Amino acid sequence: MRRIVLLLTLIAFTMTSFLDDADARRRRRRSRTKRAPIINEKKLYERIGGPKRMGEIVDEWVRLNLADARIAPAFAIFTAKPDKLTRERRGLTDHLCELADGPCKTKDAEELKLNEMQFLVFGDNLFKSMQKHEVPEREKNELLARLGETKGDFVESAKTQDQSENQSSKGE
C-alpha cells in the first residue's frame, strides 16, 4: 500500500514538473514572437474628426464662453464688434488645431487674457463642448492636457494684472 501511494506521488510530481516546463517553453516562444509596433496611429486632430468637427467644437466652445457669466467679461472686447469675434473664433480654431497636431498655424491675433479662475472655466467649457460632440475620452483628456500646457498664453500673471489695473486707474 505504501508503495502504491509513493508511486502515485512520484508520478504526480513528475507530471507537474513536465507541465510546468511545457508552460515555460510556451511562454518563451510567445515572448520571442515580435509584435508589430503601432506606427501609423492617427494624429489627435484626425482622431477628433478633422476640420469640420474641430470647427463645430470651437463654435460650441465660444457660445458656452459667451453665455458663462464667469468668463464673459474676458470676451467683452470681442463681442463689441462681430468681425473681432469672428477673428477670435478663427484664432481659437487655429490654436486648438495646432495643439492637436493639425495642419493649422496660429496667426497673430488679439490675445485673450484670462485670470486663473477664468482659465479653469475656459477649459471646463471646452470639455463640455467636446462632450456634446461625443469626442472620445482619450482625445478629450489629451487635448485638455495640451491646452493646460499653454496656460501661460492665456493667463496673465498677478503682477501684470496689478500693473494694468494701476495704469487704468491713473488714466481716470
> Domains in the chain and their CATH numbers?
48-158 (1.10.490.10)
Which of 84 and 40 is assigned the larger pLDDT? 84
Q: Shortest CA distance to 123 belongs to which of 160, 86, 154? A: 154
Mean pLDDT of the chain: 79
- Other CB atoms within 10 A of residue 79 CB: 12
**Structure confidence at residue 74 as a pLDDT band (50, 70, 90):** confident
| 41-57 per-residue burial string, b: 16 or more CB within 10 A, e: under 16 | eeebbebbbbeebbbeb
**54, 95 Cβ separation under 8 angstroms:** no
pLDDT of residue 85: 86
| Phi, psi (deg, nearest 5) at residue 80 | -65, -35
Mean pLDDT on 110-137: 90
d(CA 112, CA 125) in angstroms, rounded, equals 15
pLDDT tens-digit readout, 48-70: 999 999 999 999 999 999 999 99
Mean pLDDT on 32-45: 66
Which of 66 and 4 is assigned the larger pLDDT? 66
pLDDT of residue 165: 45
pLDDT tens-digit readout, 137-159: 999 999 999 999 888 888 876 44
pLDDT reading at 130 higher than 90 = yes
Give residue 35's identity as a one-letter amino acid code: R
